[in-house]
A and B are shown apart, each in its own frame.
Chain A
Amino acid sequence: MARIIGGIGTSHVPTIAMAFDKGKQDDPDWKPLFRGYEPVAKWLAEKKPDVLFFCFNDHATTFFFDHYPTFALGVSGEYRIADEGLGTRNIPPLRGHVGLSRHIARSLVDDEFDLTIFQDLPLDHGLHSPLTMMWPKAPDWPGAVIPLVVNVIQQPLPTPRRCFRLGKSIRKAVESYPGDLKVAMVGTGGLSHQMIGERAGFNDENWDREFLGLIERDRERLAAMTIEDFMRRGGNEGAEVIMWLIMRGALDAQAKKLHQNYYLPMTTAMAVALFE
């Protein structure tokens, strides 16, 4: 039986990938961010999950508004790196897990989550900006990823409660897979930021700290909030933290936070947290 061994919540800011690719690990402006990911990379190296299940969003890169899915699950054996306007990052293509992802697709649809299914599409920084902070890219990735793309950029968005329930359903799906696999959940996005309008540049560290506490201890309270609540507290784009609720919904109610890092250098609060 496959099992979920833990979860990670992480920002997916594109500048994280740019800092990584430019080798800014020891740059004083970036060091607090890189240090904050070290315990997560160490945990992954020790626990050796076979699969990282990534809940993230595409940024109008691979998917466009002529047909924009609410939840889309990738079922390929490999995913190319997407070109977002600067060419592609110099990292290997991502390996998928065909057997588990197909099983999850069937199981989720049986459980009344009517997903979009995709294959052979490139993936953007929503997934691989945090990935390179946690998993070595050389000589090749240590395992596979399963991408779940969530619409958090064109309203109406799925409700926080729907995301939470989807997490629970993903857990059932993983645990009903006959293969002996270790899976870690990754929920990406946030924390507080707003990129548009007069309130562009908005952050709220108090809300971010409260969110980081609630996601561990009181996920029901987060699930009961509305998208508008999340936008008001964390900025329009900050509402994407509902993707952390998918990750958290797939873990035990009693899961403990082993590590947390928070860094707010520029426009987006960059956080990472590890749960087991």
Chain B
Amino acid sequence: MKHLIDPTDLSLAEIDEILALAEEIIKDRPRFAEVCKGKKLATLFFEPSTRTRLSFEAAMLELGGSVLGFSSADSSSAAKGESVADTARTVEKYADIIAMRHPKEGAPLVASMHVHIPVINAGDGGHNHPTQTLTDLLTIQQTKHRLNNLTVGFCGDLKFGRTVHSLIKQLSLYDNIKFVLISPEELQVPDYIKEEVLIQKNIPFVEVQQMEDVIHDLDILYMTRVQRERFFNEADYIRLKDSYILDLNKLENAREDLKILHPLPRVNEIATEVDDDPRAVYFDQAEYGKFVRMALIMKLLGLDANA
């Protein structure tokens, strides 16, 4: 049984297939309207989420399937102390595919070890969030029309940002990718990503603290939120916080064909004045998230629009 727990569970060829299928869906949505008729997706969300859960549910509904599940641990038997394995075994009796979000790292892997239906990791703590990575890849593919030959900037909290780690790992599989890692020293990309991905694969990267110094080099700028509570002291936060807020002024030096991504939710790290700039694609990205999840559900269930 194929699951999607870690971004590396999918080969490059499988990812390309999913992205290609998502592009087909975008071009001809009615053709896919009944592909999942009679199939049920269980969304097991042990912690709250807006975009991910709704995009999974919208994806299944658009494929003609139905959805069931819960949106917080309080409304499941986890509140009574049920194990992840037992919850998954039970849900397996009611659904054809599971999307699970859990605050503990590895919980979706545990679920996948105990069931015979596909399990999709919809975010496990600060660890992995592979469907966000697929969303990001589809957004880059749709807006830049390529996934190679790119200089990709990541800005903000690169230490705890799981979406950043997953996307770095995945983009590292494509040719001629350069990374520009923009963050305060306290929130740099963890050593294991640098050692086991970037250095091991000889992928060029630079680490800088100021967005202004590098913005003109970028094809993609992936923004993330810098949270006050991540800083060791208030003085550093005040000193650095404006460096990580994108506004039209900072964009003046950026390329015309730059694309700005953000996994959302945004707080204040992108000024709302940027939203109307054609380079801002973060709300489109949320929609691509639905299309890529439609493609993923079809792929994991082994369904075909022509069947």
Q: Do A and B come from one complex?
A: no
Chain A residues within 8 Å of B, Cβ to Cβ = none
- B positions within 8 Å CB-CB of A: none
